[in-house]
Chains A and B, each alone.
Chain A
Amino acid sequence: MSNPADRETVHITSCPHDCGGRCVLKVHVRGGRVRRIETDEGEEPQLRACARGRAYRQRLYAPDRVQTPLRRTGKRGQGAFEPVSWDAALDEVAGRMLDIRRRRGNEAIMYIAYSGNTGTFLHSQLGVFRLLTLFGGFTPCWGSASFWGSLFSSEATYGTLVAGHTPDDILKAKLILMWGWNPAETVQKTNTAWYLARAREQGTHIVAIDPRFTDSAAAFARQWVPIRPGTDTAMLIAMAHVMITGDLYDRAFIEKYTSGFGQFKDYVLGAADGIPKTPAWAAAITGVAEEKIAALARLYATMKPAKLLTLGAPGRSAFGEQFHRAAATLAAMTGNIGIYGGEPAGFGLAPAGLKPEAGTGLIARRMPGNLPEGARQRRAIHITKLWDAILAGSQGGYGADYKMAYITNANPVNQFMNSNRAAEALSSLEFVVVHEQVLTATARYADIVLPVNTHLERNDIIRPWQGGPYCIYMKQLVESLHESKSDLDICRLLAPRLGIDSYGDMSDEDWLREFWQEARGMTHGEELPDYDRFREMGLHRMQREKPAIAFEQLAAEKPFNTPSGRIEIYSTTIADRHDPQLPPIPTWIEPWEGPQAAREGAYPLQLISTHSKRRIHSNMHTVSWLRDLEPHTVWINPVDARARGICNGGRVRVFNDRGAVAIEARVTGRIMPGVVSMGQGAWYQPDENGIDRGGCVNVLLNDTHSPAGAFCSNSCLVEITREP
């Protein structure tokens, strides 16, 4: 807040974006402005922030911040807007919502919200969710672009998402398999990369299995095993074959803690289909040499404790849930569950600090009229099917004919698949309202854009979303810039206009105080300070002597919350679905737009979407300090580049039937032949011919999902040519 003495004060806060980390920012404020940002200087392990956090001042004061409410004046997508008053904007939003509800019913209003704020207690999509619920319901979306395959598999196999370890446990492993996992760029729990470096220094054997030689592979791994995207499941199953035929698996663990191993074994050995899933079988699918697969299997089976670490990438493919089911099965076969230095290869939440329900769950339960009335919601739409649902409506088998999209905490045109179709879909609606901080690709399709403040301009509490023994009070440090407001304040102003008198008059401070009180009982046993002390401290660290590991209580009567109480290699919940595309044992299924289709069809290159270290998804893409660090490129192997006459730094066109992207080529041996990659999150910018000049990878992606709901962003085929 403004400081009359003009003295510089320093405050602890964090970032609320959808990043795998949760770090400390120490923000210097003078004269009501943020002047500098430092990071944690306290006791080790310090929670040091990355380049993105350190550049946050530029995002706060970005010239492209939405300053006032905006009303569209040009065509949708064109980006022509006029400033309007809050009253005019809110009256228009409320008027259109009431009209659409009267004519078409609540289900005609689609609410698209995603991960713009992650791990926050108060400021997230849930304030809007609640408003729309009180309004009588809406059509929500479901799914995750990040890790649905992992989430689904962890629930089915272990009965929980708390199936990870805190990163300090990395130091206790003898072997680490980084499977499609690149924490040097994606962070995946603050300090993970630091622990990996120290593990390497102490002699831990680290292997990277990845189509790319990532920064993590270069810094930590002794061996890089390039693998064709979408084929990881085949390699894991062949590793199981080596362990079974070589009698290298942990029989005692399998017998005591798992169910369904017999069926899996039959499948692996080929009892049912006559195909033994040998390393030779997998080599033909994966492109990994037979002896490499066998050697890695023997290593994993014999070097204990061992971590198979992964998050979402290999599972972000057609039938991606099978990858995570297979990875967990191998963790069980090697007995690396419930032990220090091991890893269940499940969803990575660690049993430390605040539980997940201490974030979003609080709003759900504490705010009257919210999720418990979710019964009013109509059929939810998967995030990959939003555009199809809007364009096809009830005729296409969807629950309604959608007339309006309410979009907050999300940039779906850019971040969900098939951006050209997104543009077409949003352009077809009667009304689109977007809450935003900057004029994103999605905001350009809005009729009304409402300016939202950043976390530095409001109070909140945040926890590391993957679990960790600390939490951070994110104090308001400066007044809201321009005319921006929080999503909650926007809802407070909209509620009476929508005829809702029960949205409540509790302040942010009141809510946070109440949530914190309840959160104090929602930890993994750690004590939390009272609200005022926590607010004063900013960072609260919970002392731990040891790493926190999942399933430490293996001796308990029912250590796993599955129907059988065991690790379900054969999943009864999956079996109950009777979906032939979703077998109850981990199974290799040839993906659509995978290596086989690449050999046979018009588009011979497998495209994978990666994270970029200069953005958090599409957040911060326009921050010039970060843009300067690295050019946005498509990676291509010299072999593939030569065949197409492409040189390093040259302009190329990446295309398939769904669209075309103009981008710079980076010719590099860091990616395997037949595979190309683009960092997701660059902003969609179609030109008059429909060619995306912004380099948005989702222009190329197939808007469909795996049988269990995984976002298949790594199942995509393209061709590349020199820019005509």
Chain B
Amino acid sequence: MQRGFYFDQSRCTGCYACEIACRDWHDIQDTSVKWRRVTATEQGAYPDVQLSYISLSCLHCADPACRGACPADAIHKRESDGTMLVDADTCLGADACGACRSACPYNAPQFGPGPEAKMQMCTMCHERLEQGKQPVCVAACPMRALDCGEMAELQKKYGACSEARGFACSVRTRPSIIIKPRYE
């Protein structure tokens, strides 16, 4: 099975609760490292302006480009639920390699400061999933705009759209995300 995220862009107000909840739960002190990131897209001219936000983390792709790019075999896909795992001990580090960062179309692989920094990214809070809880970002969203589950189930509930303002979906990697866009 493949676990993935659902994001209701039409509801997102750009409040950043998901981003901060992720940072706090995983104790990511350095603000240059973002496992989850909220970004705004503004279009049009006054007064016909449009604004949307998108909240993205690692999309735990079905065909992850990062894994193929890693020369050290440090990136794996969990068999049980298809979530991505990084072996920091094996990772060659930011300066020596960084191939995953170039390969990922979603800017998911994160390196902290320093040449030795190892890759890190969203784990889909597997420790929470094991306790029967949702990832911390999903549980945080004041708009209930995020969901997480098995992709087949999510598709049944929400359809299969993965296109929205502020998100360039790469068909090649088959990201595990469904989005309800704000603007058609």
Contact partner of B20 (CB less than 8 A), chosen from A54, A185, A224, A671, is A54
Give bound CA distance, A107 to B139, whole Å: 52
User: In this complex, what residue of A is CB-closest to B25?
Assistant: A36
Within 8 A of A (CB), among B1-47: 10-17, 19-21, 23-25, 27, 31, 38, 42, 44-47
Query: Which of B48-56, B63-71, B104-112 is the interface stretch?
Result: B48-56
B10 → A minimal CB distance (Å): 8
Could you tell me if A219 and B12 are in contact, using CB atoms closer than 8 angstroms?
yes
Within 8 A of B (CB), among A142-199: 184-185, 191, 193-194, 197
Number of interface residues of B (CB under 8 A): 36
Could you tell me if A638 and B12 are in contact, using CB atoms closer than 8 angstroms?
no
B60 → A minimal CB distance (Å): 22
- Known A-B contacts A191-B142, A669-B46, A672-B46; A48 and B13 likewise in contact (beta carbons under 8 Å): no
Interface size class of A (residues with CB under 8 A): 35 or more
Could you tell me if B13 and A193 are in contact, using CB atoms closer than 8 angstroms?
yes
Q: B14: which A residues are within 8 A, CB to CB?
A: 184, 215, 613
- 0/1 interface trace, chain B 105-140, chain A, CB 8 Å (1 if under): 000000000000000000000000000010010011
Could you tell me if B24 and A54 are in contact, using CB atoms closer than 8 angstroms?
yes
Give bound CA distance, A193 to B17, whole Å: 13
Could you tell me if B16 and A224 are in contact, using CB atoms closer than 8 angstroms?
no
- Known A-B contacts A191-B142, A638-B46, A672-B47; A37 and B15 likewise in contact (beta carbons under 8 Å): no
B144 within 8 A of A: yes
- Known A-B contacts A38-B139, A55-B24, A213-B49; A669 and B42 likewise in contact (beta carbons under 8 Å): yes
A201 → B minimal CB distance (Å): 8
Could you tell me if B140 and A215 are in contact, using CB atoms closer than 8 angstroms?
no
Contact partner of B47 (CB less than 8 A), chosen from A38, A184, A226, A627, is A226
Could you tell me if A638 and B45 are in contact, using CB atoms closer than 8 angstroms?
yes
Within 8 A of B (CB), among A659-688: 668-673
Within 8 A of B (CB), among A522-569: none
Q: A48: which B residues are within 8 A, CB to CB?
A: 17, 140-142
- Known A-B contacts A41-B139, A193-B13, A216-B13; A54 and B21 likewise in contact (beta carbons under 8 Å): yes
Could you tell me if B49 and A669 are in contact, using CB atoms closer than 8 angstroms?
yes
B152 within 8 A of A: no
- 0/1 interface trace, chain A 27-42, chain B, CB 8 Å (1 if under): 0000000011111010
User: In this complex, what residue of A is CB-closest to B136?
Assistant: A38
Give bound CA distance, A51 to B22, whole Å: 10
B50 → A minimal CB distance (Å): 7
Could you tell me if B46 and A193 are in contact, using CB atoms closer than 8 angstroms?
no
Could you tell me if B142 and A50 are in contact, using CB atoms closer than 8 angstroms?
yes
Q: A280: which B residues are within 8 A, CB to CB?
A: none
A625 within 8 A of B: yes
User: In this complex, what residue of A is CB-closest to B45?
Assistant: A669
- 0/1 interface trace, chain A 340-369, chain B, CB 8 Å (1 if under): 000000000000000000000000000000
User: In this complex, what residue of A is CB-closest to B48?
Assistant: A669
Give bound CA distance, A194 to B140, whole Å: 13
User: In this complex, what residue of B is CB-closest to A671?
Assistant: B46
- 0/1 interface trace, chain A 13-51, chain B, CB 8 Å (1 if under): 000000000000000000000011111010000001111
Q: A55: which B residues are within 8 A, CB to CB?
A: 20, 23-24
Could you tell me if A51 and B50 are in contact, using CB atoms closer than 8 angstroms?
no
Q: B141: which A residues are within 8 A, CB to CB?
A: 48
A664 → B minimal CB distance (Å): 16
Q: A39: which B residues are within 8 A, CB to CB?
A: 21, 139-140
Q: A57: which B residues are within 8 A, CB to CB?
A: 24
B37 → A minimal CB distance (Å): 10
Give bound CA distance, A627 to B20, whole Å: 11
Q: A41: which B residues are within 8 A, CB to CB?
A: 133, 139
Could you tell me if A219 and B46 are in contact, using CB atoms closer than 8 angstroms?
no
Could you tell me if A197 and B24 are in contact, using CB atoms closer than 8 angstroms?
no
Q: A213: which B residues are within 8 A, CB to CB?
A: 47, 49, 51
Contact partner of A613 (CB less than 8 A), chosen from B16, B50, B143, is B16
A178 → B minimal CB distance (Å): 13
Could you tell me if B16 and A670 are in contact, using CB atoms closer than 8 angstroms?
no
- Known A-B contacts A50-B142, A197-B143; A670 and B51 likewise in contact (beta carbons under 8 Å): yes
- 0/1 interface trace, chain B 134-176, chain A, CB 8 Å (1 if under): 0010011111110000000000000000000000000000000
A247 within 8 A of B: no
Q: A216: which B residues are within 8 A, CB to CB?
A: 13
Contact partner of B52 (CB less than 8 A), chosen from A191, A218, A624, A670, is A218
Most A CB contacts (10 A, CB to CB) among B19, B141, B143, B182 go to B143
A637 within 8 A of B: yes
Q: A626: which B residues are within 8 A, CB to CB?
A: 20
User: In this complex, what residue of B is CB-closest to A192?
Assistant: B142
Q: A49: which B residues are within 8 A, CB to CB?
A: 17, 140, 142
Give bound CA distance, A220 to B118, whole Å: 41
Could you tell me if A629 and B46 are in contact, using CB atoms closer than 8 angstroms?
no
Give bound CA distance, A54 to B21, whole Å: 6
Within 8 A of B (CB), among A94-117: none
- Known A-B contacts A219-B11, A219-B12, A219-B13; A670 and B139 likewise in contact (beta carbons under 8 Å): no
B23 → A minimal CB distance (Å): 6
A147 → B minimal CB distance (Å): 22
A628 within 8 A of B: yes
B145 → A minimal CB distance (Å): 8
Give bound CA distance, A190 to B57, whole Å: 26
Could you tell me if B20 and A215 are in contact, using CB atoms closer than 8 angstroms?
no
Could you tell me if A51 and B17 are in contact, using CB atoms closer than 8 angstroms?
yes
Give bound CA distance, A218 to B42, whole Å: 10
Could you tell me if B24 and A628 are in contact, using CB atoms closer than 8 angstroms?
no
Within 8 A of A (CB), among B72-121: none
Q: B46: which A residues are within 8 A, CB to CB?
A: 226, 637-639, 669-673
- 0/1 interface trace, chain A 232-273, chain B, CB 8 Å (1 if under): 000000000000000000000000000000000000000000
Most B CB contacts (10 A, CB to CB) among A185, A219, A626 go to A219
User: In this complex, what residue of B is CB-closest to A627?
Assistant: B31
Q: A629: which B residues are within 8 A, CB to CB?
A: 16, 19-20, 38
B81 → A minimal CB distance (Å): 21
Contact partner of B42 (CB less than 8 A), chosen from A50, A637, A668, is A668
User: In this complex, what residue of A is CB-closest to B34?
Assistant: A628
Contact partner of A37 (CB less than 8 A), chosen from B16, B24, B47, B50, is B24
Give bound CA distance, A191 to B51, whole Å: 21
Give bound CA distance, A38 to B13, whole Å: 20
Contact partner of B13 (CB less than 8 A), chosen from A35, A215, A226, A624, is A215
Most B CB contacts (10 A, CB to CB) among A37, A218, A627 go to A218
Q: A673: which B residues are within 8 A, CB to CB?
A: 46
Contact partner of B142 (CB less than 8 A), chosen from A193, A215, A218, A627, is A193
- Known A-B contacts A38-B139, A193-B13, A197-B11; A51 and B20 likewise in contact (beta carbons under 8 Å): yes
Could you list 7 examples of A-B contacts with CB < 8 Å? A38-B25, A39-B140, A191-B142, A193-B15, A219-B182, A669-B44, A673-B46
Assuming A41-B139, A627-B31, A668-B42, what are 12 further A-B pairs, CB within 8 angstroms? A49-B17, A51-B16, A54-B21, A55-B20, A193-B13, A193-B142, A197-B143, A197-B145, A219-B12, A629-B19, A637-B46, A639-B46
User: Top 6 nearest A-B pairs by Cβ distance?
Assistant: A669-B46, A184-B13, A628-B31, A218-B51, A51-B16, A51-B20
